[in-house]
Chains A and B, each alone.
Chain A
């Protein structure tokens, strides 16, 4: 099936390199609004050919190459499946520094104040049911931010992309914290 992808010009074997963008690795156009079915289909096609299970009994060199290439495809798949990592990949494609990564301090004071408020709200919740509602609210927020990021990307508005991305990061972090909090009850 990789052969089909190759023939159709969807995947170029030369793009299966660690430095390739996750979109290029999986033969997809760089966009925030990826088609999850297409992503999965390409991922499965690539793994069918590259997974080390296909190289049992082959030379050590082939086995090692397969292990590496299969790993890169796995990582790219994970980056594209997760909306926050997908947004990050698009910022990198624009050649911009990713906010929050080392040497790129976060300069959005209003957002930081907002995050403090969210945190206080979370700490004040009394029951697992409250936490579930809280999570649902932030699930929606993450979805909205994704739509916002998608619009920013279409405009190639890197400044707004970074802002939307930062908000996505904090929303997903607060959702993780909420999960931890649920363990407390």
Chain B
């Protein structure tokens, strides 16, 4: 398949069929492409298919791309798509700004095609959460585009590579873009592109490298240079050993060795994420057939070297890393509208769960589950006579609700009053092929049903989200200890609660002296809860259970007796 760039003004496409386009809505650049006949075309705008994802304003009207300089406009707003309603510049939200870029791309595609464009496949980072995916759909709607499918950027890249090379086997897609890093492990066989695992960091990309360079100049030369100067130096060093330039008359320089030092930590972070993806699948480096580099930041020599060294393989770079995602999106748009022999099977990249007792997360859909998927799980009430239950949906890898992304909360009401543990509440998670979630809950005894589509909630700050993603893996061990402590606390509470209630209900069943012993045990256990020593709490629970066992047996005896004489059990 040939890659042809269309000359401005050339419009040889007069097909009557509606064309669906593929759009790579990037952090720094966006690209629109489409398939005509057997070829993929990227649409050039002002001489290049790479349209800067920058929105500015002239006389009140939005200007997208080169006409909007970073000085009069706003860039990198994709990084805020997980907070879609926040006002950034000119009172605009990330959704509105993304919509401006999409509108502009739509317009240029229409000019190139000579017909209106209404349908698109839009790519998103594999590690985008539910909120950011919904926000991308909203932005498309604002731009007058109907989204055929959201596809993950690395998957789109694999599609363009796979079709060109008719490859079979396991492939790594290493995608380091302007703002995000994704790595996916795919199996290609029989025309099926099956994503086995994906991992990433939505806060790691070329922007961070530019920032590191700016910081370096500030520290060493006391010059506060702008991002485009840093970017210029960085890009120059992809093919040269040293860069010299200036900013506002002040001389600046950067060598390859200096740049390598500056980005060492970033690169190592991406490599350790690659290791995680292999571990998720249980694959080893020698199982990997090929490594594909995607995203402009993979032009950096040290990135290429690190990837090469880790996978012990020369990475594939025969397609332009800036355009390969849009090309894949165009192929998928064509496949979805015209039919195709190939098939993409993707996975949910982040675990989904709900809040349970003690601020803990019960995972319902673990990450790397193939989508679409629908999984139901049963939960029960915690207290006697409980008639309502809060369902709090979260996304992330951590064990605690406070450390995951809160997606939605709703209350299931009208649960018939029953003893604790008797109600059967079925919570169903549906993740569609776009990776977007719908949650519903059903109380199975009375069929009380409530269905919600998870809509973004904005309680989480940027820093919180960052922490959620970085720390999910690093702090796993600490989490487990904390979790065990909370579980021990819940267990202790249940025992204390039930013992106190029953002692009040049947005081006559207590033997002489027994009450004192049990009250002593209750006091000691209650006190230990404040000390936070899990082993001690566990020991005291066991101790108190043993001590209260004879009393419990007597109570059971009494209730059986009552039942025998036809009296209600209390």
Q: Which residue of A lies closest to B335 (CB)?
A: A53
- Chain A residues, CB < 8 A from B371: 74
**A165 is an interface residue with CB less than 8 A from chain B:** no
A3 within 8 A of B: no
Residues 54-71 of A, flagged 1 when their CB comes within 8 A of B and 0 if not, give 001100000000011011
A183–B473 CB distance below 8 A: yes
Residues from chain B with a CB closer than 8 A to the CB of A67 are: 372, 430, 432-433
B372→A56 contact, CB < 8 A: no
Besides A44-B343, A71-B373, A72-B374, 16 more A-B contacts (Cβ < 8 Å) are A44-B189, A47-B192, A47-B345, A51-B433, A52-B372, A53-B149, A53-B336, A53-B344, A56-B148, A56-B149, A70-B372, A71-B430, A74-B372, A180-B477, A183-B474, A184-B477
Q: How far is the CB of B272 from chain A (nearest CB, A)?
A: 11
Instruction: Tell whether, in the assembled complex, residue B476 and residue A183 are in contact, meaning their CB atoms are under 8 Å apart.
Output: yes
Pick from A56, A68, A78, A184: contact of B369, CB under 8 Å: A78
Which residues from B are CB-within-8-Å of A68? 374
Band of interface residues on B: 20 to 34
Q: Give A71 to B369 CA distance when docked, in angstroms.
A: 10
B369:A52 contact, CB within 8 angstroms: no
A56 to B374, CA, bound (A): 19
Q: In residues 310-343 of chain B, which contact A (Cβ within 8 Å)? A: 335-337, 343
Whether A48 sits at the interface, judged by CB under 8 Å, is yes
A164 to B351, CA, bound (A): 29
Contacts of B189 in A (CB 8 A): 40, 44
Chain B 340-371 interface mask (CB, 8 Å, partner A; 1/0): 00011100000000000000000000000111
Judged by a CB distance under 8 angstroms, whether A179 is at the interface is: yes
Q: 1/0 contact trace for A169-185 toward B, CB 8 Å?
A: 00000000001110110
A96 CB-CB contact with B under 8 Å: no
* Cβ distance B18 to chain A, nearest Cβ, rounded Å: 10
Where the two chains meet, the residues of B that have a C-beta atom closer than 8 Å to any C-beta of A are 148-149, 189-190, 192, 194, 279, 335-337, 343-345, 369-375, 430, 432-433, 473-474, 476-477, 480
Interface assignment of A75: CB less than 8 Å from any CB of chain B: yes
Residues of B within 8 A of A181 (CB): 477
- For chain A, give the interface size range: 20 to 34
Instruction: Kindly provide the distance from the CB of A178 to the nearest chain B CB, expressed in whole angstroms.
Output: 12
Q: Is the CB of B370 within 8 A of A53?
A: no
Specify the chain B residue showing the minimal Cβ separation from A40.
B189
A52 to B149: give the CA distance in the assembly, Å.
10
A132 to B369 Cα, complex, angstroms: 25
Q: List chain B residues, Cβ under 8 A from A149.
A: none
Q: Most chain-A Cβ atoms within 10 A of its Cβ — which of B190, B370, B474?
A: B370
CB contacts (< 8 Å) of A40 on chain B: these are: 189
Which residues of chain B are near A41, meaning CB under 8 Å? 190
Q: How far is the CA of A40 from the CA of B189 in the complex (A)?
A: 10
Query: In the complex, what's the smallest C-beta–C-beta distance from A135 to chain B, in angstroms?
Result: 10
Contacts of B194 in A (CB 8 A): 44
